[in-house]
Amino acid sequence: MATVLIAGGAGFLGRSMASQLLARGDRVVCVDNFITSHRSELTTLESNPMFTLLEQDICTPIEPNSSIDAVVNLASPASPIDYLKFPIETLRVGSLGVLNLLELARSQDAKFLLSSTSEIYGDPLEHPQVESYWGNVNPIGPRSVYDESKRFAEAATMAHRRTFGLDTRIARIFNTYGPGMRPNDGRVVSTFIRQALLGEELTMFGDGSQTRSFCYVDDLVRGLVSLLDADALLVAEPINLGNPDEFTVAELAALVLDLIDSSSTVVHLDLPENDPTRRRPDISRAKELLGWSPTVSLVDGLARTIEHMAATVL
């Protein structure tokens, strides 16, 4: 049994990770300031005596009441509509917040797991993206508040590993979806499902030929837990976690409309600035080092997500 502090533990991935860790007997200390989540979403978790909540911003130093074995950083606005609404907070949590968590891990002699993102690859010039690819990010674009904060966080994490011998792990998380996403988080999966459920037009950016790879949340979090458990020496460098099955956004829309049996039509909007045209993880490293790969197909995952979201929006 370990005690794991999850920063951003009230978010979509944080709650799922907390559940998986509690299910195997770990203690979870959740730190969240609820900037993009709600305490009400923690009701089930808070009924578990092994779960505790510290309501605070990680940009102020964290002082847990118990000793911590692992620090998992899932804190940040992560959806474009969120980080464009909270640009300064995103910059602060990705820099000062991460430095505070690294300092906490160091003082506790704990492992540190950073959730990084496929966004550090930007609009990639190599395809699929392997971890050795350095990325193609616009440092001054509107999205840079998130992308550059995550690149900074990776640099900070590696610096603590090099300087202090801290046990660090970095996951580069690709698009993830599933039950528990907010219907209005602005991500393409939740947006299409919500719109189709409500019989509204599906808003597609561009012609829908841009590709994405969608990983079901249970698969993704199982990967995060494997990374947390892995031998420290094996996972010194970042590891992609995501589903390598690539779909165009138009294919995703067709699948959602088919599963919901919706007659919604598709309306095309202008592409946002610096929207990546292709995104697909090479997960060879995760397969080899963690024995991990996703198992839930997009059709199955979408069906479960639709069922869950229907209960919320209808």
Known catalytic residues are 146
We find the least distance from the C-beta atom of residue 221 to its own copies, in angstroms, to be 23
Q: Cα–Cα distance between 231 and 227 in angstroms, integer?
A: 9
Q: Is the peptide bond before 128 cis (omega within 30 degrees of 0)?
A: yes
**Structure tokens given for 2:** 């370990």
- Binding of its own copies by 206 (CB under 8 A): no
Q: What single-letter DSSP state applies at residue 121?
A: G
Q: Do 108 and 61 form a contact (C-beta atoms < 8 A)?
A: no
Contacts of 260 (CB under 8 A, 6+ apart): 193, 196, 197, 306
Size of the site for its own copies (CB under 8 A): 37
246 binds its own copies (CB under 8 A): no
Order of strands, edge to edge, in the sheet holding 70-73? 51-55, 27-32, 3-7, 70-73, 111-117, 168-173, 239-241
Give dist(CA 3, CA 199) in Å, integer: 45
Instruction: Give the residue carrying structure tokens 């692992």.
Output: 70
Write down the least CB distance from residue 164 to its own copies, Å: 9
From candidates 7, 68, 110, 156, binder to its own copies by CB under 8 A = 156
Contact call for residue 237 and its own copies (CB under 8 A)? yes
169 binds its own copies (CB under 8 A): no
66-74, 91-99, 204-212, 251-259 -> range binding its own copies (CB under 8 A): 91-99
CA distance 82 to 147: 13
Report d(CA 159, CA 285) in Å as an integer: 22
Residue 273 interacts with its own copies (CB under 8 A)? no
CB of 144 or CB of 190, closer to its own copies:
144
Token output for 38: 């709600």
Query: Is 72:17 a contact under the CB 8 Å cutoff?
Result: yes
183 binds its own copies (CB under 8 A): no
Which tokens go with 268? 């095309």
Residue in 15, 27, 111, 160 binding its own copies, rule: CB under 8 A: 160
- Can you tell me which of 152, 234, 251, 303 binds its own copies, judged by CB under 8 A? 152
Contact call for residue 124 and its own copies (CB under 8 A): no
Instruction: Determine the Cα–Cα distance for residues 81 and 229; give it in Å rounded to an integer.
Output: 33
Q: Is 289 in the site for its own copies (CB under 8 A)?
A: no
Residue (15 or 143) nearer to its own copies, CB: 143
Closest approach of its own copies to the CB of residue 272, in Å: 14
Determine which residue in the list 73, 118, 149, 190 makes contact with its own copies, applying CB under 8 A.
149
Minimum gap (Å) between residue 189 Cβ and its own copies: 27
Smallest distance from its own copies to CB 241, Å = 16
Contact residue for its own copies among 60, 155, 201, 258 (CB under 8 A): 155
Q: 46 exposed, middle or buried (CB, 10 Å; 0-12, 13-18, 19+)?
A: middle
- Contacts with its own copies in 128-147 (CB under 8 A)? 134-142, 144-145, 147
Tokens, residue 292: 């991990």
Nearest approach in angstroms of CB 206 to its own copies is 20
The residues of the shown chain that bind its own copies, judged by CB under 8 A, are 87-88, 91-92, 94-96, 99, 120, 122, 134-142, 144-145, 147-149, 151-152, 154-156, 158-160, 162-163, 170, 237-238
